[in-house]
Amino acid sequence: MKKVERKQITLRLPDKVYEALKVEAKEKGLTVNDLILLRINPLQVNFREGFSRVLSQRN
């Protein structure tokens, strides 16, 4: 599998938004970071190995 180059950024979120993301990520078995990556780039989900489970959960 080809390694994807990544860029580190800082993202500031309101507490309520972050808490909602934490709940959703936990329900889906993801980290908050992985959930945010899916939200901003939903068509390319293979940021790391293991995302095939996300594809199966989305249907």
Q: 19-44: per-residue pLDDT in tens?
A: 999 999 999 999 999 999 889 886 66
Distance CA 37, CA 25 (A): 11
Domain that holds residue 25: 15-58
Is 10 a domain residue? no
Q: How many CA atoms lie within 13 A of 17 on its CB side?
A: 6
pLDDT of residue 35: 93
Which one, of 9, 35, 13, 12, lies nearest residue 22 by Cα?
35
pTM value is 0.62
Domain total of the chain: 1
**Average pLDDT for the chain:** 80
Evaluate whether residue 50 is within a structural domain. yes
Residue 8 forms part of a structural domain: no
